[in-house]
Structure 1
Amino acid sequence: MKGAAQYREVQRSAANEVIAQHSDLVRRIAHHLAARLPASVEVDDLIQAGMMGLIEASRSYDADQGASFETYASIRIRGSMIDEIRRGDWVPRSVHRRARDAAATIRRLEQSSGRAASATEVAAAMEMPLPEYLRLMEDAARGQVLSLESRIEDQGELDTVAQGGPTPQQVLERSEFGRELGKAIGHLPEREQLVLSLYYEQELNLKEIGAVLGVSESRVCQIHGQAVLRLRGRLKVFEAVDAGLEE
């Protein structure tokens, strides 16, 4: 019993240290996200959810996977914030449905070719005009298609936040998801990695990122969206769910 108590104390101390070192990151992301959401969304609620995402990120981060901790943690923090407000219905469900279709197409193309699928290839495989697919990439960047609660809700299960907390199985899923996410980020095309780093880690806006890359804001949004769709397509945790939803 004494050993267990000591272990819990070490865990608490580690969590407190992570929060102390990266609390400013959580606050920046909360304000960054709140500016794009309805006024009814409280920044303090986002910060509280983000702190939980930060702790989860610290537990599941693996430096060997290629993503920096701040980039990895920023995505997990933002995901936790969006999980918290998903019931607000600020992202149309059609965005999630179309994003699932695109991610499944990317998965199929990349598994077949062994390389990153281009936007032109994905659009052709979906029998969708390229401009329409580019708009879908922008929608994916504004939505959240990497959320575990989004995945659970897609399966028709109850929202874990509403139940007061995740089950042990869902905690395990989060840990596995975190490891997969870090690995997948590290294997994105270089430009997509850069956009994620500048957006989530450096907190640059689309205009600023566009200036760095020498492209328009719209193009940055598309690159961001393509990265999001590619990540979902490569994460095994979504594969069985997406396949079931396509039947």
Structure 2
Amino acid sequence: MQQGPHVYTAQGTIEKSHLLQQHQPLVRRIALQMIAKLPASVELDDLIQAGMIGLLDASSRYQDNKGAQFETFVSQRIRGAMLDELRSSDWGSRGLRQSARNVERAIQKLEHRLGRPPTEGEIARELKVDLEAYQSLLQEIQGCQLLYVEDFAKGEAENPFIDLHAQDARRSQRSSDDPLEQLLESGFRHQLVDAIQQLPERDQLLLNLYYEEELNLREIGAILEVSQSRVCQLHSQAISRLRARLKELL
């Protein structure tokens, strides 16, 4: 997104009202990207409202002399505010989250047993449902599989994953104060890359189109020559495979 020159006050700080107006399209773009991966029950306006709060918070916290690019900083704050809104509203029911975990566990068991990624039919049989029911389940759990770092915790409220796996990085004097940066420094980035590379090729392509190329469901469907609903199913299954493998690695 092309950005215009920043406007400064006499005190040398970035003019907040200008920044809010300038970055409103960014809030909407991030909301649209996120809602494509969430259940239909999530309202776009709710995400945008949360994102605007994150934008306002970012404009208050950002210090121009810190050297960080404001666009990067504000994008992180906007996404964080939207994720906080999703968590607080409990948009994914406990039943759906449990279903998502059941799929992950079935994939994990089958990979151990078979020594390869299981097919859809094999996963369905492991879950004791027919293929059509399994594919319907994949659509239902779409969005309940966002990779929240606390999902990898031993308990719901203790020993969060981001703390458990950033300890080595914290001991380094060069380590960032940002827990996410500490996590990436600890080797998690490489583990994530390894996990993705072990997925079936179609899953790797789908994730690349979704998260790197930022294509929508219709565009991905055209490339894979499948329907949009089928892309949704394949995305849910790819994320389930990835989560199962990450849990195995970690």
Q: TM-score with structure 1 length normalisation?
A: 0.61
Q: Deviations over 1:148-183 (max 9, x none)?
A: 12344x8231697xxxxx975364494454432221
| 1:232 matches 2:236 | no
**Which is richer in helix?**
1
**Cα distance in 1, alignment partners of residues 196 and 146 from structure 2:** 15
For 1:194-209, what aligned pairs fall within 5 Å after superposition? Answer: 194-209=205-220
CA contact (8 A) 1:106 1:117 kept: yes
Structure 2 residue identity aligned to 1:97:
Q
SS, match of residue 105 in structure 1: helix
What is the CA RMSD across the aligned residues, in angstroms?
3.7
CA contact (8 A) 1:206 1:220 kept: yes
Q: TM-score with structure 2 length normalisation?
A: 0.61
How far residue 208 of structure 1 moved from its aligned partner, in angstroms, is 1.3
| 1:188 matches 2:199 | yes
Residue 169 of structure 1: aligned partner: 164
Structure 2 residue identity aligned to 1:222:
Q
Seen in structure 2, the aligned counterparts of structure 1 residues 81 and 223 have a Cα distance that, compared at 3 Å, is farther
Seen in structure 2, the aligned counterparts of structure 1 residues 135 and 238 have a Cα distance that, compared at 3 Å, is farther
Seen in structure 2, the aligned counterparts of structure 1 residues 208 and 131 have a Cα distance that, compared at 3 Å, is same
Higher relative contact order (CA 8 A, sep 6+): 1
Of structures 1 and 2, the larger Rg is shown by 2
Seen in structure 2, the aligned counterparts of structure 1 residues 222 and 168 have a Cα distance that, compared at 3 Å, is closer
How far residue 81 of structure 1 moved from its aligned partner, in angstroms, is 6.6
How far residue 201 of structure 1 moved from its aligned partner, in angstroms, is 1.5
| 1:103 matches 2:104 | yes
How far residue 219 of structure 1 moved from its aligned partner, in angstroms, is 0.9
How far residue 29 of structure 1 moved from its aligned partner, in angstroms, is 3.8
**Cα distance in 2, alignment partners of residues 46 and 91 from structure 1:** 22
**Cα distance in 2, alignment partners of residues 229 and 29 from structure 1:** 23
Alignment length (residue pairs) = 185
CA contact (8 A) 1:105 1:122 kept: yes
Structure 1 residue identity aligned to 2:89:
G
For 1:137-148, what aligned pairs fall within 5 Å after superposition? Answer: 137-148=138-149
Q: Deviations over 1:201-228 (max 9, x none)?
A: 1221111111111111111111111101
Among 40, 44, 54, which residue is 2:46 paired with?
40
SS, match of residue 90 in structure 1: coil
Seen in structure 2, the aligned counterparts of structure 1 residues 227 and 82 have a Cα distance that, compared at 3 Å, is farther
CA contact (8 A) 2:210 2:216 kept: yes
